[in-house]
Structure 1
Amino acid sequence: MQKDAYTLILEAIDHGVYKPGDRLVESELADRFGVSRTPIREALQRLETQSLLTRDGRSLIVSSLDHNQLAELYIVRTELEGLAARLAARHATPEEIRVLRDMVEADRALLGDPAALSRANRRFHKQIHLASHNRFLVQQLDMVHRSMALLALTSLAAQGRDAAALAEHAAIVEAIAARDEATAGEALSDHISKAFVTRLKLDSGAIGTVG
């Protein structure tokens, strides 16, 4: 299925092709993605409405999050992700649990590669969202994760965070598999809280990065 202009630009931001502060130009985007300027213009307007782009004079740039916005985002994410894990423990099918376990196992091969692990991390969390079997929660989490694309550096780039995060993923999956709603919710909320602490330390220069 062919992706629309909105999805193409959003994925480019999410994958770091365009970073916070980068200017987006209609003609350049049209050339890059091989589409006309009209759908590009409509996509940019939609992204601006969602606060993923910010107007700078007559231009649009990729938004960035200040400290307060970052804290607000993580508060919401922590609560919603915890709810998703609790609902997944209640509703996930055996097949969905198997997929989550397989993801954790496959991701071990990505340790030391922050970019690849970040993409795998998004897939893992999305799978938990889907396993909640609550479409409205999935929609809200999609919005939160779109805003996460405005963070230039993944917390998984911090030294030692990748292995710890993967161990946390494994514990979350086992709690879901055991149908332990409380433990699953607490484990995922704690996982997000630790990621936030790591990000704050990265931003302050208190810890180094992988590589």
Structure 2
Amino acid sequence: MPGKSTKPASSHVDAYERILGAIDSGELPPGARLRESQLAERLGISRTPVREALRRLEAQGLVAHEPHRGVVVAELDYDQLGELYAVREVLEATAARLAARHASPEEVEVLREMAAAHAELVEDAAGLAEANKRFHRQINRSSHNRYLNSMLENMRVNLALLSGTTFTLPERRRAAAEEHRAIVEAIAKGDELEAERLARQHISNGYKARISLASRD
């Protein structure tokens, strides 16, 4: 476990968000044991909010109980990976289509700036991975559909279980940066069908990269 955090959690929600963040960042990778006492010490809180946070994460499928090991970060099997990306493709593509319809000029400009920055991060896998999350979140917000965003947020929770990043593959970093640029230009033109098509292809390419990574394990 990393060193104890100096920032105290003030509620069960804080404990949940911080444990989820540690899973999402890879600090707590799939298969990692989750001991209440260690997590409570790390967060600087009692075990009660930690226990509640773990129950919530278990209900969402992010935490599991394993014989002889106890509570661990859940791991996606091969079929679950495919199921997750199938849903992601539909939701992300819909968000891009609605962004092409509803995004304000200011939102388009922000997306353009993000995409341009990604081209400067093609040698930085970790940096591009974080920028990629912010980029997709901005597209989702630019769709201006609260119900879609609720579904996307629920999906984001499950994406935290993806181990590592496909941006460890140099060819994926370069391709993703160009795909982001193309999606933004379609959104800027208000071309809903093209934005949707490009977003679908983008997620599909990401899934192929995931399969490639999994085949190397």
Give the AA of the match of 1:104.
Answer: A
1:47-126 superposed matches below 5 A = 47-57=57-67, 59-126=70-137
* CA-CA distance at 1:188 after TM superposition: 0.4
Deviations 1:144-185, CA, capped at 9 Å, x for gaps: 121111111211111311011000000000000000000000
Distance 1:189 1:156 in 2: 18
Q: Number of aligned pairs?
A: 206
Distance 1:36 1:68 in 2: 37
Give the AA of the match of 2:20.
Answer: L
TM-score when scaled to structure 2?
Answer: 0.91
2:18 alignment counterpart: 8
Determine which of 27, 50, 53 is the counterpart of 1:43: 53
2:3 alignment counterpart: none
Distance 2:216 2:72 in 1: 26
Deviates more, 1:149-158 or 1:78-87: 149-158
Q: CA RMSD in A?
A: 1.6
* CA-CA distance at 1:109 after TM superposition: 2.6
2:151 alignment counterpart: 140
Deviates more, 1:2-11 or 1:160-169: 2-11
Distance 2:182 2:120 in 1: 18
Secondary structure of residue in 2 paired with 1:43: helix
Matched, 1:27 2:67: no
Secondary structure of residue in 2 paired with 1:55: strand
* CA-CA distance at 1:73 after TM superposition: 0.3
1:150 alignment counterpart: 161
- Spell out structure 1 runs of 4+ moving beyond 6 A: none
Unaligned residue ranges in structure 1 (runs of 5+): 207-211
Give the AA of the match of 1:18.
Answer: L
Give the AA of the match of 1:204.
Answer: S
Unaligned residue ranges in structure 2 (runs of 5+): 1-8
Deviates more, 1:1-10 or 1:149-158: 1-10
Distance 1:108 1:185 in 2: 22
1:202 alignment counterpart: 213
Distance 2:146 2:37 in 1: 36
* CA-CA distance at 1:27 after TM superposition: 1.0
Is the Cα–Cα contact under 8 Å of residues 119 and 178 in structure 2 kept in the other structure? no
Deviations 1:31-80, CA, capped at 9 Å, x for gaps: 11112211111100000000001111472100111111000000000000
* CA-CA distance at 1:120 after TM superposition: 0.7
Secondary structure of residue in 2 paired with 1:24: coil
